Structure formats: structure tokens, C-alpha cells
Amino acid sequence: MQLLLTRIKLNRLRTVCRYSTPSLNDTYEAISVHNPRLNALPHIHPLDPTQEANGPLSGWSFAVKSNIASPLPTTCASSMLSSYTSPFSATAVTKLEHAGARMIGTSNMDEFGMGSLNQSSVHGPAHNLHPENGNVLHSPGGSSGGSAAAVAARMCRVALGSDTGGSVRLPASWCGVVGFKPSYGRVSRYGLVSYASSLDSVGILARSTQDIRHTFNIISAPDPHDMTCMSKSLRSRIDTLCASREWISHNTIASEPLKGVRVGVPSEFWVDELSPSAIDAWKRGAAKLESLGCDVIPVSLPHTPHTLPAYYTLALAEASSNLARFDGIRFGTRHPPTQSTRASLKYAQTRTMGFGDEVKRRILLGTFVMSARAYENYYLPSQRIRRLVQREFNRIFAMPNALCTTNTKTDARNVDKVDAILFPTATDTAPVQGSNNGLSAYVNDVMTVSANMAGIPAISVPFGLCEGMPLGLQIAAQYGDDDLVLRIARHLEPQPA
């Protein structure tokens, strides 16, 4: 009888969410049905029917990743911060609330954002909604897996995540939703607990690109609290560069809405780990873009094979520094030693007990990378590779990088340059939770880290199923060209019936 009632609730929720905007009551009903199985929202804000909100997002519900400061506990899915509640909310959270959206909870994640499977959380692993009729629990991806699972299960309309090396886009691909990483600095990082400061971005997950765009328009603004946030003058210069591309028209015919847009297919992303289903989706995606009026041409990014090791070298070095503050004195739950009173042992006990195995592993590797002997052998070469990756993107994109030029006009497009690139978000569909450990867990980021290394915008859109599991395709463009990425994704994503 209980199983029958659950199925009736699920069918009702699907009907309501397909044909109309779900109410907050429907959202909380979805939470009661799905959250016990998915473990996507460890902290839930109780529904207050007397609370009224006005604004462009009035009636919207959103979830916040547990490493973004909000009125609920900001735990980073770690026992180190299990009892921590931030005295302020992140800029992105505040802007959504001021726009009328209602926060419904914090989402599960890999501890401190370190992982791609969402299985290193103090709250326990999060799970994928797909396959909906299956008994085997799959990974939702990481580290923003809880946000993706919550959106997929209609427990919220949109969710905020953080993307350091694909932590928004990989879960979006595996959960069958849209995941957007804006250009570095488009959205304020104020209130985001840093993993790797030069790579972190606040991202958005939703069931449609249209919801992504509405949310992005609200939270994308200069912020005096964040020195890395784009200034008003830089945003203005980027807008001028985008508008000066005469070959891209918004007044296109309905059958070819992307007429004039040139999309590149980078051959270096055809890696050995790429599954046949991902390759098939990639080919079908390129064919669909051609049918929409795009010119699809091959491009080359020669340093892509070196991006993953360089990314982990830089990210872990920054993580080692950023997480030094969690010592039980400045931040973190204190675990005093049982016998010794030496200060170093007080720190050691707190960090040993407070951090999980994956976090401790990455701190140790990052500390080694920054040591005197390893700095010149690993860290500096990785920074050089990062610069080469950025230059390669500048070379293939027709619009110049606003950070590297003072021009306010884009020159006539070279025949070898493109406006965006298309490639898979993940090498395969989501694995069974707990089955993909060891080195293979790090390889999941091979398709996503390039965008973070270059700071460019990238979005993952769902593009079909393989044996009931979703697959996503990724669109990326020049630094600051977020609008074009969203425009292409809008036409590439499956259209509602």
C-alpha cells in the first residue's frame, strides 16, 4: 500500500512539473518522496506558508551547496564544520532571496568539494535519481551531486553549486539536468568556502537553460566583497565585443536560429576512455547544430592531454593553503589531544579527526607540491601549461579575450576561428555508487577541467539516454561570452513536449 501511494505521488509530481511551475507545496512533497532515497538535501528549511516574497523569481525554490554560506549550516559535508553556521550569506544566495526565490535546503556534496562521485560526505553518499525504476543506486557525480540530484528529482527549481574542475557540469550530465559554469568572476565567490581560489566558480543547475539564464541574470553582478569578481567596466567591454560580431545575428529564421555561429569540435577530447555512447551523442550533437544553422568545423587544442595533471597539481597546491585555516582555533571543530599539550599536536589531532581520507590525501599532495624541491619540478610547469591552455583558446576563438586586449570591437572573423566548441561532458554514464574508486575517480574530470584552467564559460546540457542513464554534451566559448553559450545550449537541449 505504501509503495502504491508513493507511485501515485510520483506520477502527480511529474504531471504538475511538466505542464506548470511547481508550487512550494509540490517541492516539499517531492522532498518527502525522494530525499530519503537520494540523500540529496541533508538540511531542509521548513516551509513557512506565512512568508511572502516578491520579485522576478517569486515562487521559485532553490537549494544551496553545503560549501556556500547560507542561513542553514555550512558544513562542507565535513565533520570539521559539522556544527558551523555562517554569520552571513553568500552574495549569490542573498541576491536570489532578494529576487523572491525561497531557499529550501542545503545540498550534499563531496567533502570540501574534493571528489567527482559524491561519496566522501559526512552525511553519507548522495544518489542519482536515474534509472527511476531501478534498484541499483548510481552516483550523481561530484562534487555538486546533491544539487544535481535535487534538481533532477524536482526537489527544487534551481540549485547553486561550485565548479572547480567540472563539479557542476559532471553531475548535470550524469543526472540529466543542465549545469552552467560561468566565466571566472561573472558571479561573486563571496561566501563560497574556497577549494582552489583561482579555479572556483559558483555555478547553477536547473532543468532548463531558460531557468539557468533567469538565475544567472540575477546573481551575475559586480561585488565589492570579492576582488576577483568582474568589474562593471570589464563587463561593459565584454558586452561591446560580443555585440560587434557582425556575423552572429539574433534576427534569424526559425528553422536556422543559430545561423552564422561557427562551432568547433576539438579532436583532443576524443580520449581513449570515451565510451561509444558518448561518441554517438557527440556526433548527434554536432549534426543537430548543423541543422540549426551552425558551421561545424574541426579545431585543435594540442595541450589538452596535459591539462588534467596540471589541474590537479595547481588545485591541490591551493587547497593545501586554503584549508590551513581549519585548525580548531580559527575554524573547525576542535579535537584536543588526550595527553600532550604541544601546540602542533593540538592542530594535528583536530585535522586528523576532522578531515576525511580524501581531503587529507589532497592536502598532503598539495603540501608536497609547494615544497622547495617540488615547486620548480611540478608547480611552475603546471602554471606554464595553464597559460598555454589559455592561449590556445584565445587562438581558436574569433572574439578576443577581454582580459588580453583593450579593443572594443571584434575584427572580421578568420576562417579558421570559431565562436564556441562542442564536446562531451563525461566519458560515460554514471557508475554504480561505490564501484568507481582509485585512479579512475580522478579521470572523470578529464573532459571538464580545461574550462576552469582557462576561466571560460561552459555548460552541460542533457543529450539522450544510454540504458536509462543520462548523457550530457558541453558547450564552451571565449572568456565573458556567457550569453552565446546559453543561447546555443537553449537550442541544443531537448525541447519540452
pLDDT tens sequence across 40-85: 999 999 887 777 778 999 999 999 999 999 999 999 999 999 989 9
- 73-82, 241-250, 304-313: which range is least confident on average? 241-250
Question: Can you give the pLDDT at residue 8?
Answer: 39
Per-residue pLDDT tens over the stretch 254-292: 778 999 999 999 999 999 999 999 999 999 999 999 999
pLDDT grade for 346, boundaries at 50, 70 and 90: confident
Band the pLDDT of 20: cuts 50, 70, 90.
Answer: very low
Give the pLDDT confidence score for residue 7 in this predicted structure: 44
Q: What is the pLDDT of residue 87?
A: 96
Name the pLDDT band for 252 (thresholds 50, 70, 90).
Answer: low
Most confident by average pLDDT, 327-341, 419-433, 439-453: 419-433
**What per-residue confidence (pLDDT) applies to 24?**
87
pLDDT at 68: 98
Share of residues in the chain with pLDDT > 70 (%): 92
- Is 283 among the residues known to form the active site? no
Question: Looking at the predicted structure, is the pLDDT value of residue 410 above 80?
Answer: no
Is 65 a catalytic site residue?
yes
Least reliable range by pLDDT among 89-98, 227-236, 438-447, 459-468: 438-447
Read off the pLDDT band of 340 (50, 70, 90).
Answer: low
**pLDDT (0 to 100) of residue 437:** 66
Known active-site residue 244: no
pLDDT of residue 460: 98
32: pLDDT strictly greater than 70: yes
pLDDT, position 6: 44
Evaluate if residue 92 carries a pLDDT over 90.
yes
Q: Is the pLDDT of residue 1 over 70?
A: no
Instruction: Say what the pTM is.
Output: 0.93
- Please tell me the predicted confidence (pLDDT) of residue 347: 83
The active-site residue out of 70, 107, 120, 167 is: 167
pLDDT, position 341: 58
Task: Name the average pLDDT for the chain.
Answer: 91
- Min mean pLDDT across 76-90, 244-258, 364-378, 479-493 is at 244-258
> Pick the catalytic residue: 107, 120, 143, 208?
143
Q: How confident is the model at residue 127 (pLDDT cuts 50, 70, 90)?
A: very high
Whether 142 contacts 109, CB under 8 Å: yes
Least confident of 28-32, 44-48, 224-228, 387-391: 44-48
What is the pLDDT at residue 22? Answer: 67
pLDDT tier for residue 293 given thresholds of 50, 70 and 90 = very high
